[in-house]
Amino acid sequence: MEGKQDVAEGSEALTSPYVLEYTYRRSLGPVVGRFLTGLREGRIEGVRTASGRVLVPPTEYDPESGAAVGDFVSVGVSGVVQTWSWVSEPRKGQPLDRPFAWALIKLDGADTALLHAVDAPSADAMRSGMRVTVRWRAERVGSIHDIACFVPGDEVQAAEPVAPAEPVRRMKSPVHMDFTIGAGRTLSRFLEGVVQGKLLGRRCPTCAKVYVPPKGACPTCGVPFADEVVVSDTGTVTSFCIVNVPFEGQTMKLPYTYGSVLLDGADIPILHLISGIPADEVRMGLRVKAEWLPEGERQPTLASIRWFAPTGEADAPYESYAEHQ
Amino acid sequence: MKTRCAVIGVGQTKHAAKRDDLSLAGLVREAALRALEDAGLGWADIDAVVIGKAPDFFEGVMMPESFLADALGAVGKPMMRVHTAGSVGGSTAIVAAHLVESGVHERVLTVAFEKQSESDAMWALSPKYPFVPPLVAGAGGFFAPIIRSYMRRSGAPVDVGAVVAVKDRLNALKNPYAHLHMADISLEKVKASPMLWDPIRYLETCPSSDGACAMVLASEAAAKRAPNAPAWVRGTSVRSEPAQFAGRNQVNPRAGVECAADVYAQAGITKPREQVDVAEIYVPFSWFEPMWLENLGFADEGQGWRMTLDGVTALGGALPINPSGGVLSTNPIGASGMIRFAEAAQQVRGRAGEHQVAGARTAVGHAYGGASQFFAMWVVSSASA
Ligand SMILES: [Zn+2]
């Protein structure tokens, strides 16, 4: 999809790779915590429900009755494959780096199945009803990955002992998603202008308001924008914030000031950095002008404007921007 | 409307920075069990479950309505999830109320939660995004310029925010479920706390909390069999507006004004300041108390701060605001709106405990979310009509 031509507008719709990732910290609660503590110690535990079923992996509440469960029972390390799916090209983060099967495995003594990997030589070696047995990881930490995988057959391999430790209470849960973000043709056109040092707004044919950056349609009238309008790179600070607190993903040196800047000729302010002035002298009504990166360094992003700096003009009267905060 | 709807059970967790003793399932369960106990009911008595939480990034759980069904006794029952950003706790309760009022279900369990300790709200609200410079630092960074605009427009003295911060933390001392219990809070302490997002100081911001809130809503027939006094739902309203448009009034958003007007009309309220006995409104940063007093019609535009400084909004004042301690003392984001709705209900049921407003008969619950663009409100009363 990258670099896709937008024939309708004759201009290129910009795309960008985008990675969204984070490592969540889960509190496990008493039931899943005990299950993972068991895995660390080389033991698989399930829970027995009021109706006598043994759930492995355990759930905190009985899916049949909603009652809390608490009767823990150990089950076997071998069991029967209920069904399976072959993975011919394993992906990063999966249990094995060679082709393997995902399988639902009902362990001996359990009434429900556990999802895990079976290390089989090929898909031909897999079938529903086959018996498989746990292969433990040597270094176990209290995670489902303490089970390295299952292997065909009944040959039990003892888990190597691990040093005693506190019961497992939490786990890390990393997520990672790869996206390709499209800017869309309206924003792409605006960003092309930014590379050329121009701010291109668009005017609503109904209410005549000028939006910069433009949107596809007017948010109040619901009609597509019409004329393109060149908006000044000089404007008025309508309000601002001085940031003194760091946050994840933040790249600016603290403290920094950003403000709503109502560009001359626009009807909606943009947010940008305010610089070239001590933070405690930034004020509402301050007149500022864009400080552009040199032409060769500009990218299709508003970061091509380094910041807005004071023009030295007299402050704009409050009435001129009161409606644009 | 086929039947009137009443709150017959309310439950909250003990809110805290980190409820490491509980999984997400255990967290919602704690609140739900308390609501059922208050209503004198068991899981089997519930017809449907409506659950709400704020953005999925907050815990990275994409379908809580499936994941949490076992914990909420919802297997084999209708269960749905509501999502309207920070206002979700309110809109979730409203969806549940409509299921009762329409006659579809007789008793609905509604639950909202957030377990903020599992991630980082600043990250979840301000992820770096292509084509856009990373400027805005979380919710505080977003709302700081709006608060500055309010201060300029209203001419309010600079310490109004600190007065709210102290009042709500003192109220929280009377609420055993509140996250923050700051016995030594004072104006001096608030003013000496670090300036995070100028003009917002650290002690003028809400905490990050783990917590859940649950309510059992019932039809008129079911409410008459409830062991404890019901809170009758007299009006519900939801409104929204775009985050950005030319001439948008971010300080006093039109969607909020219209949401309030609608819910008052349903409840027969013409003079909210006189007819409402107590309100629980969504104040995550202290200055939002005077801002919302104006937006919700309790004060004229530019005058809300006078009510705060005159002590009108204090416990014991003519219109106590957030006697529970509010969002400034407890903020499990997705649950925060439902806590407002539930605390309003507890006031008119006479079950608010130490922070009870004497003789409260009519109360307002309010929530907002997004860029001050999603609003949810209800009016509850001790009388059914
Ligand atoms: Zn328009």
Is residue B367's pLDDT more than 50?
yes
Identify the band that residue A4 occupies on the pLDDT scale cut at 50, 70 and 90.
very low
Dump pLDDT digits (tens) for B24-74: 999 999 999 999 999 999 999 999 999 999 888 888 888 888 899 999 999
Question: Alpha-carbon distance A125 to A100, whole Å?
Answer: 10
Across all residues in chain A, what is the average pLDDT? 92
CA B83 to chain centre: 14
Chain B hits for A191, CB-CB cut-off 8 Å, are 131
Is residue B315's pLDDT more than 80?
yes
Which of A239, A253, A254, A305 to mutate to probe the B interface, most B CBs <10 Å?
Answer: A239
Under 8 Å between Cβ of A64 and A86 = no
Question: Alpha-carbon distance B104 to A111, whole Å?
Answer: 36
Question: Alpha-carbon distance A204 to B246, whole Å?
Answer: 11
Measured in angstroms, how far is the CA atom of residue A124 from the centroid of ligand 1?
Answer: 64
Under 8 Å between Cβ of A263 and A235 = yes
How far B276 CA sits from the closest chain A CA (Å)? Answer: 31
Average pLDDT over residues A305-322: 95
Question: Alpha-carbon distance B126 to B246, whole Å?
Answer: 23
Please give the interface size between A and B, counted as residue pairs whose CB atoms are below 8 Å apart. 182
Under 8 Å between Cβ of A36 and A176 = no
Contact B135 A271 (CB under 8 A): yes
ipTM summary value: 0.90
Domains delineated in chain B = 5-120+208-224 (3.40.47.10)
Contact A272 B246 (CB under 8 A): no
Contact A301 B71 (CB under 8 A): no
B288-295 and B138-154 helices, crossing angle to 10°: 60
Structure tokens at A258: 């950003």
Chain A hits for B21, CB-CB cut-off 8 Å, are 27, 29
Dump pLDDT digits (tens) for A156-210: 999 999 998 999 999 999 988 899 999 999 999 999 999 999 999 999 999 999 9
Is residue A10's pLDDT more than 60?
no
Is residue A230's pLDDT more than 90?
yes
Under 8 Å between Cβ of A36 and A28 = yes
**Sheet architecture: strand order including B107-115:** B79-82, B48-52, B107-115, B210-219, B5-12, B231-240, B374-381, B362-369, B278-280
**Identity of the amino acid at B5:** C
- Tell me how far CA of residue B23 lies from CA of A46, A61, B120, B184, in angstroms: 17, 12, 17, 32
Can you give the pLDDT at residue A7? 35
Closest CA to B161 of B185, B194, B195, B190: B190
Across the interface, of B18, B70, B194, the residue whose CB is closest to A61 is B70
Average pLDDT over residues B354-378: 97
Closest chain B residue to A190, measured at CA: B131
Chain A hits for B209, CB-CB cut-off 8 Å, are none
Across the interface, of A207, A252, A301, the residue whose CB is closest to B131 is A301
Contact A29 B198 (CB under 8 A): no
Contact B131 A239 (CB under 8 A): no
Dump pLDDT digits (tens) for B69-89: 999 999 999 999 999 999 999
Structure tokens at B259: 């949401």
> What is the signed CA dihedral for B313, B316, B322, B326, rounded to 10 degrees?
110
Instruction: Write down the pTM of the prediction.
Output: 0.95
Identify the band that residue A248 occupies on the pLDDT scale cut at 50, 70 and 90.
low
Contact A238 B149 (CB under 8 A): yes
**Identity of the amino acid at A68:** A
Measured in angstroms, how far is the CA atom of residue A204 from the centroid of ligand 1?
Answer: 5
Give residue limits of the domains in chain A.
Answer: 29-168, 180-324
Chain A hits for B196, CB-CB cut-off 8 Å, are 243-245
Identify the band that residue A2 occupies on the pLDDT scale cut at 50, 70 and 90.
very low
Structure tokens at A281: 């002298």
Across the interface, of B75, B132, B141, the residue whose CB is closest to A63 is B75
Contact A300 B131 (CB under 8 A): yes
Under 8 Å between Cβ of B278 and B357 = yes
Across the interface, of B20, B60, B197, the residue whose CB is closest to A173 is B60
Across the interface, of A18, A249, A325, the residue whose CB is closest to B126 is A249
At residue B275, φ and ψ (nearest 5 deg) are -90, -15
Can you give the pLDDT at residue A249? 61
Measured in angstroms, how far is the CA atom of residue A216 from the centroid of ligand 1?
Answer: 11
Can you give the pLDDT at residue B139? 84
Q: Of all helices (H) and strands (E), which one includes residue B49? A: strand B48-52
Under 8 Å between Cβ of A110 and A54 = yes
How far A130 CA sits from the closest chain B CA (Å)? Answer: 30
Identify the band that residue A323 occupies on the pLDDT scale cut at 50, 70 and 90.
confident
Measured in angstroms, how far is the CA atom of residue A205 from the centroid of ligand 1?
Answer: 7
Token pair 């360094």 is found at: A297
Measured in angstroms, how far is the CA atom of residue B242 from the centroid of ligand 1?
Answer: 13
List of residues 6+ apart from B291 with CB closer than 8 A: B147, B150, B251, B252, B304
Q: Kindly give the residue spans of alpha helices, DSSP state H, lying in chain B.
A: 24-39, 64-67, 88-101, 121-125, 138-154, 160-172, 187-192, 220-224, 254-267, 272-275, 288-295, 304-309, 333-349
Can you give the pLDDT at residue B122? 76
How far A145 CA sits from the closest chain B CA (Å)? Answer: 20
Closest chain B residue to A170, measured at CA: B20
Measured in angstroms, how far is the CA atom of residue A214 from the centroid of ligand 1?
Answer: 12
SS3 A282: coil
Under 8 Å between Cβ of B296 and B260 = yes
Closest CA to B22 of A68, A27, A168: A27
Chain B hits for A303, CB-CB cut-off 8 Å, are 133
Measured in angstroms, how far is the CA atom of residue A210 from the centroid of ligand 1?
Answer: 9
How far A84 CA sits from the closest chain B CA (Å)? Answer: 23
CA A184 to chain centre: 21
- Cα atoms in the 13 Å half-sphere on the side-chain side of B61: 22
Contact B242 A219 (CB under 8 A): yes
- Tell me how far CA of residue A10 lies from CA of A5, A121, A198, in angstroms: 8, 53, 19
How far B268 CA sits from the closest chain A CA (Å)? Answer: 31
Question: Alpha-carbon distance A319 to A310, whole Å?
Answer: 20
Across all residues in chain B, what is the average pLDDT? 96
Identify the band that residue B129 occupies on the pLDDT scale cut at 50, 70 and 90.
confident
Is residue B347's pLDDT more than 90?
yes
Q: CA-based angle B80:B325:B108, to the nearest 5?
A: 20
- Tell me how far CA of residue A84 lies from CA of A109, A117, A154, B172, B288, in angstroms: 20, 9, 18, 54, 55
Structure tokens at A314: 């007299």
Dump pLDDT digits (tens) for B241-284: 999 999 999 999 999 999 999 999 999 999 999 999 999 999 99
Chain A hits for B198, CB-CB cut-off 8 Å, are 241-244, 279
Average pLDDT over residues A108-126: 98
Can you give the pLDDT at residue A182? 92
Contact B145 A240 (CB under 8 A): yes
Contact B145 A273 (CB under 8 A): no
Tell me what percent of chain B is helix, strand and coil, each rounded to the nearest 5: 35, 20, 45
Question: Alpha-carbon distance B167 to B185, whole Å?
Answer: 9
Least confident of A35-49, A235-249, B61-75: A235-249
List of residues 6+ apart from B293 with CB closer than 8 A: B281, B299, B304, B307, B308, B313, B321
At residue B297, φ and ψ (nearest 5 deg) are 80, 15
Average pLDDT over residues B188-198: 96
Can you give the pLDDT at residue A11? 59
Q: Please state the length of chain A.
A: 325
Of the two residues B117 and A324, the one the predictor is more confident about is: B117
Average pLDDT over residues B106-111: 98
Contact B134 A244 (CB under 8 A): no
Which residues face B211 on adjacent strands?
A: B114
Average pLDDT over residues B151-165: 97
CA B229 to chain centre: 22
Average pLDDT over residues B363-383: 97
Contact A22 B129 (CB under 8 A): no
User: What is the per-residue burial (b if ≥16 Cβ within 10 Å, else e) of A146-167?
Assistant: bbbbbbbeeeeeebeebeeeee
Which of B135, B146, B285 to mutate to probe the A interface, most A CBs <10 Å?
Answer: B135
**Identity of the amino acid at A274:** I
Cis peptide bond prior to A213, omega within 30° of 0: yes
